[in-house]
Chain A
Amino acid sequence: MDFLRPASWEEALAAKAEHPTAVPIAGGTDVMVEINFDHRRPGHLLDLTRIGDLYDWERGERSVRLGASVPYTRIMSELRADLPGLALAAHTVASPQIRNRGGVGGNLGTASPAGDAHPALLAAGAEVEVASAARGTRMIPIDAFYTGVKRNALEPDELIRAVHVRRADGPQQFSKVGTRNAMVIAVCAFGLALHPETRTVRTGIGSAAPTPVRAAAAEEFLAAALEEGGHWESGKTVPPSVARQFAQLCSGACNPIDDVRGTASYRRHAVGVMARRTLMWTWESYRGARRTTEGAA
């Protein structure tokens, strides 16, 4: 095995081009488990921890460009206002020790259907910035990023540079079912973001299909119901029938399996419950925010 230690992004891309089977290692919280248990014996490990750029984030007008290796701990403390859904999701990952090392680049690299960043990214709206030495930079919409169980849209010579996550224009929530608070892989998870600027809602479902998915039909239904009822202007409560239908459509977007963590029917049910709850929570904060802005005006 060779241990490659590029000191810059350009060097990293050159190394990946030269050794397309090299396994990038950032926080190592997925890669090292595989190596420790002999599940993986790559010819080359490509260490990304010397590349400072990957640990920076920048706030743009509409989105945050989040370096691939910014650890979850910093997402929680530094980006709670801009990326509330992702910050909430980050807080549910593993333990402080893991959150100090692991980040969204590694979560995307692994592309596990249970990865906690995915529902939050799908709900907020995001693009993955990837690059190769041969072809330069390209942006992959988050909806096109997950291509199969633990498979993503990266080419062998590409690395993830950053994720551009839309800054929140409304309340966001993240909810996860597991056996306890810390150190659990999601039985299933749900992210919801209200986008009052465009009067849309976006969702993200984790661990309930071969890849993380959005519940497109549920999103359309809810946006139409909120529009028709004049809810965005009035801020009035979402009728229970609408919430129920939204929950059902979210359950319907699942394509889960039975496994040791839960059965398919439990997952479908739980996603519906989380959809209804996160809708209530986010809508309550939308109403609350409206009241305070109106009060101030």
Chain B
Amino acid sequence: MNRAIADALAAAPERGVQEDVMVLNMGPSHPAMHGTVRMVLTLDGETVIKCDPEIGYLHRGFEKQCENATWSQVFPYTDRLNYCSPLLNNFGYALAVEKMLGIKATDRCNYIRTILGEMARLADHFTSLGAGALELGAMSAFLYAVEARDHIWDLVEEVTGARLTVSFARIGGLKEDLPANFAERWEATEPRLWDVIKKLDQLSTKNRIFMDRMMNTGVIGADEAVSLGFTGPVLRSTGVAYDIRKDSPYFAYDRVDFEVPVGTNGDNFDRYLVRLEEMKQSISIIRQCLKGLPGGPLNVDDPHIMLPPKELVYNSIEGMINHFKLIFEGIQVPAGEVYSYTEAANGELGFYIVSNGTGKPYKLRVRPPCFYFMGGIDRMIEGGMLSDIIPTFDTINMIGGEVDR
């Protein structure tokens, strides 16, 4: 629909008040373009006639860099793809390599991955909703959301040792088990998160200004969204219940009970509501996983993949050689290609991997969900007002590290 208005405006011979269209450059360093994106807008008054997004201001050569790293050295780079939820990227990549190796992570590992992954999703949604509210002028919602994110990060730090860039996953397992008191710590954190979710809800959902700016802006239809390759909350807001956690379950998602919230209008407000509801589902998933957390080993038992325990490395020659080989030559992944996909916070995060049978990936392609949002954002913006760009940009939650890689 937006397209139609834009086309009509562009074609109209007489343009009302303003005779001339104006070209406006937004970004690459603009407070509302979180991350670094540039938009060249053609405006008729305040109506956007044409929008040409330009990305690449955060291109860091992810793929080239990974082709020169061993399979395990790729983990830190994946952290920095979607830096709002590094754990999810870690696990997505680990799953891809495991698929290639033909191994399955242990039960316990799968559960822990689910727990940590959902925590990362929570943090991501908090960031996205908070920053979104901030850019619409709601400073307090932002402060609460960042505080909630810090609560999650505290927990993440206790488990992984780092706040943000964790590199916690390993091929075939995890770096470490959960700390002994994790369940109690979660019990203590959960009410705080609920508290913030409730506050966000109270501050935004029924807020007149917020509603006016979010409703019926940045609309996208279901068919168009599918064709544009949209996934995640943005696609679900249009009513398409595509969630990889449900459609092709991995980790422990087939053993927990959760709903996939969908919207109806495909506008900014629906995307906001979908995210808000997803956070509640995430908390429930974590609770279920903690309750059903199985015992048993954490990592796969395969010396070709997992590093030997440190006592063996320091005290036996076999252990040391094993360690040396794995670190210097890397895990030997059989030749072939694989496409593995997981549901990251923003949608389908795919890894297309080609191996030539050595310790380094021959090709490592990430399918970033945000890249496709940016490819289709002009359809959501054109025909709308200039100010609608801000909420639209917020609710697709564009992350520079992922779009530009």
A joins B in a complex: no
Residues of A within 8 A of B (CB): none
Using a CB–CB cutoff of 8 Å, the interface residues on chain B facing chain A are none
